[in-house]
Every structure is written in C-alpha cells, then in structure tokens.
Structure 1
Amino acid sequence: MNKEDKAQKQPMEFYNMSDFLRGQSSKLITGLSDEDKTAFVLKNGKPVAVLISHERYERLLKAGIDITEY
C-alpha cells in the first residue's frame, strides 16, 4: 500500500434511527467500536448525530482536538 492509498478517506457509514429503535443499538455500536469507525445516524434521511469509536476519540484528544469545545 502506498502513501496515496493510505491517504484516501473511507466514507462514513450511515445508520438509520430505526435500526436503533429495533433493538440493534448494541450490535451497531459494538461493531463500530471493534472496527474503530465513525458513522452518521440518520433520521428521515438526514444526519442527526455522529458515532465515533472511543479509540478514535482518544486519538483526536492526543492530536489536540477536543470535539466538546465546538
């Protein structure tokens, strides 16, 4: 894998709010955490929230980015 391949960003996944309402929350969040990903949560097709793995959040903090400040 060259530098260009590593630099390519993967699109974020999308989860519908209805997935969480059907009792899929634990499965979705565990999968996101295990794979160290981020994902949009959609309601009526529009993003309403972003889920982020704890590891990724810790890396942001170490890089000086505190998302709670925004």
Structure 2
Amino acid sequence: MEKEDKTKKQPMEFYNMSDFLRGQSSKLITGLSDEDRTAFVLKNGKPVAVLISHERYERLLKAGIDITEY
C-alpha cells in the first residue's frame, strides 16, 4: 500500500449546521483538532464558516499570515 502524500491537496471536509445542533459539536471539533484538519460549516447547503485546528492557525501565523486581517 502506498504512503499518503501529505503534499497532495485534499478537498476540505464539510459539516452541516444541523450536526452541531444535534450535540455533536464537541466530537466534531475535537476530531478536527486531533487530526489537524480544516472543514467548512454549511447552512442550507452553503458555506457559512470554516473550522481550522489551532495548530494549523499557529503555523499560518508563523508563516506571516494573520487571517484576522482579512
């Protein structure tokens, strides 16, 4: 079996807003953080937010990218 190529871009996952309303918030956010992933949050099928792990956010800051400026 081939090793996964970390440089290969993967499509972002998505969660529906209803997933958070069903008490799944903690599980979804913890999984995202533990696996250093990002994900869209959809409402009525349209993106309304992006979740990003804290580690990934810190790497962006170290690279000189402050997403709060945009």
CA–CA separation in structure 1 for the residues paired with 2:6 and 2:29: 25
**Alpha-carbon spacing, 1:11–1:23, altered in 2? closer, same or farther (3 Å):** same
Structure 1: 5+ residue stretches without partners? none
Identical counterparts, % of pairs: 94
Q: Which has the higher helix share?
A: 1
Q: CA deviation at 1:2?
A: 10
Runs of 4+ in 1 over 4 A off after TM superposition: 1-4
- What is the RMSD computed on CA atoms of the aligned residues? 2.3
**Alpha-carbon spacing, 1:2–1:41, altered in 2? closer, same or farther (3 Å):** same
The secondary structure found in structure 1 opposite 2:5 is: helix
**Alpha-carbon spacing, 1:66–1:26, altered in 2? closer, same or farther (3 Å):** same
The secondary structure found in structure 1 opposite 2:68 is: helix
After superposition, the C-alpha distances for 1:23-53 in whole angstroms (9 at most, x for unaligned) are 0000000000000000000000000000000
**Alpha-carbon spacing, 1:3–1:27, altered in 2? closer, same or farther (3 Å):** closer
**TM score, norm. by length of structure 1:** 0.91
Q: CA deviation at 1:6?
A: 3.6
Q: CA deviation at 1:22?
A: 0.3
Q: CA deviation at 1:4?
A: 11
